[in-house]
Amino acid sequence: MKKTKLGEFEEFVLLTVALLEEEAYGVEIKRQLEDRLNHRLSVGSIQSALKRLEQKGFLTSRLGEVTPKRGGKRKRIYQLTSYAEKVLIELRTIRENMWNSLPGLSIQ
């Protein structure tokens, strides 16, 4: 595997985007991650991760519909690129292989 420059937080964000499918826009990603990580996040941290990921080619985005709660502003819906999917699966395989060869440390 080549170096993918994917940070831990970025990986979480990618997974969240995959999870949310059509609902994958900033605030929803933030809510999801906050629930799962059990930790408050700022809009800035999510947004900068999204922009970075988009720039690195892990995400594509399109503008979504307007909701009144957003003061008339459109959402931006994110979607995983196939490259991202490949990288995520690759990461997972590597991890599983490693976990499997570590019998003593398996999850109880």
Partner 1 sequence: MTNQEKYNPPRWPLSVLRWVIRPQFMEEIEGDMEETFLDDVERLGVRKARWYYAWNVMLLFRPALLRNFFRLQIPNPADMLANYLKTGWRNFKKYRTYSSINIFGLALGFTASLLLFLIINYENSFDRFHRDVENIYRVASQWSGGDISDMIVTPQVPLMVEEYTDIVAGTRFHGSEDMIAYDEKFVRSEFRIVDSTFASVFSFAEIQGSVSDALSSPGQIVLTESLAKNIFGSDDAMGKTLSLVNQDMDFIVRAVVEDPPQNSTIQFQALIPWSSAPEWLDIDQSGNWYNMFMTGYVRVTPGTDKAGLENHLDEFGQKYFLEDRKGKESIVLLPLIDEHFRISGNRRLLTILGIIAVAILLISCINFMNLSISQLLERTREIGVRKVMGGRPWQLISQFMTEGLIICTLAVIAGMATTYLLIPIVQQYFDFAIDINSMTSLSTTLFILAVCFGAAVMSSLWPAFVLSGLQSTRLLHGRFSWNKTGGFFRKGLIVLQYAASILLIIGTLVVWKQIQYMKTQDLNFDGSYVVGMEFFTELFKDPALAEKKMQTMKEELMREPAILSVSATNSVPGKYWHNYNSFSTPDSIEPREFSLRQLTVDDRFFETFEMEVIEGRDFDKDLDGDGSVAILNEAAVEKYGWTDLEDKFLRSGGGGELTRVIGVVKDYHYQSLSESIQPVIHFYHPEAGGQLAVRLHPENIQEGLKVLETKWNELDPFESFSYFFVDEEFDQLYKEHEKLGLTSTVFCMIAILLAGMGLFSLSAYSIRLRKKEIGVRKVLGASISSIIYSLSRGFSLLVVLAFLITCPVIYLLLNRFLDDFAFRISLSPWIFLMGGVFVFLVSIFIVGYQSARAATESPVYALKDE
> Which amino acid type is present at position 13?
V
Binding to partner 1 by CB under 8 A, coded x per residue (else -) over 56-85, reads -------x---xxxxx-xxxx---------
Q: Per CB under 8 A, does 22 bind partner 1?
A: no
Please state the closest distance from residue 55 (CB atom) to partner 1, in A. 8
Per the CB < 8 A criterion, the answer to whether 59 and 17 are in contact is: yes
DSSP string, 22-39: GG-SHHHHHHHHHHHHTS
The residue ranges that bind partner 1 (CB under 8 A) are 25-27, 30, 42-48, 51-52, 55, 63, 67-71, 73-76
